[in-house]
Amino acid sequence: MKGFRRLLYPYAVWVGAFIVVPMLLVMIYAFTTSGNSVLTFRLTLANFARFFSDSIFISVLWRSLKLAFITTVICIFLGYPVAYAISRLKPGSQAMMVLLVTIPMWINMLVRTYAWRGILLETNLSPEAKVYIGMVYNFLPFMILEIYTSLSKMDPNLLVAANDLGCDNRKAFLKVTLPLSVPGIISGITLVFLPAVSSFFIPKLLGGGSFVLVGNLIENYFVTTGDWNFGAAISLIMTIVVLLSMRLTKHFDYSQED
């Protein structure tokens, strides 16, 4: 047992250095403001008050949530039929199709987004439509793979039993296949919604700077304006939004298990 505990030490160091310490720094900056030569930091809630008192920031937050939600819904409707079709193939064909789905993920997401920028550059689509295309393209494989994993684990004898009990294919799908695939849908929602709501380079590259999300605000205040305190406050707000989203998806997952 002591030997296994020792294996945890590198992981604990990694978590502390790259997760705990950065989060503590974000919290310190979020709840402080720049002082003077005598007092370096002053505790304050002004950064949060500034965010929630400005309708522009609220609209950007709402736009981010809306975009992430619509992106997730589109990925579900596009990804489920693909995952279902793959799960109905022979094992060898399934492996090939999964490989085809994952091949684009071997290329860096930034490079793929630059490619879409070139493709969409001469089109008459709105910046919002271009951002949606980039979002769905980059996050759709995660939804497909999660749903496929749930469907591939399903016992095919359950469908045979459903047919023996008088269910046609449509009713068997609604009563057996769909409920058993809900854990995969929930996992796919988590893997799509959470990165989509905080994405910044996809809107920046495909939206042409006219489609601003919360991720772009955070980048701007950290990199461009140098207001780390306000940028950290926005980051902390987004962290809370992400945690609440994860808790909500877990709640639906537990409800299915019950």
74-128: per-residue pLDDT in tens?
999 999 999 999 998 988 899 999 999 999 889 888 899 999 998 998 888 888 8
Q: What predicted TM-score, i.e. pTM, was given to this entire model?
A: 0.86
Which range marks the domain in which residue 69 is found?
A: 56-257
Q: Which residue's entry shows tokens 């701007």?
A: 220
pLDDT mean over 222-246: 88
Q: Output the CA torsion sign for 197, 121, 205, 48.
A: negative
- CATH at residue 248: 1.10.3720.10
Tens of pLDDT, residues 49-59: 999 998 999 99
- Domains: count for the chain: 1
Is 103 among the domain residues?
yes
Is 150 among the domain residues?
yes
pLDDT mean over 172-178: 86
CA angle 209-213-218, nearest 5°? 95
Distance of alpha carbon 235 from alpha carbon 102, whole angstroms: 30
Tens of pLDDT, residues 115-125: 999 899 888 88
Q: What is the CA radius of gyration of the chain?
A: 22
Is 4 among the domain residues?
no
| Residues in the chain, total | 258
Distance of alpha carbon 197 from alpha carbon 64, whole angstroms: 5
Question: CB–CB of 131/211 below 8 Å?
Answer: yes
Structure tokens at 79: 């990804």
Range with lowest mean pLDDT among 10-19, 84-93, 131-140:
10-19
Question: CB–CB of 214/64 below 8 Å?
Answer: yes
Is 220 among the domain residues?
yes
Is 112 among the domain residues?
yes
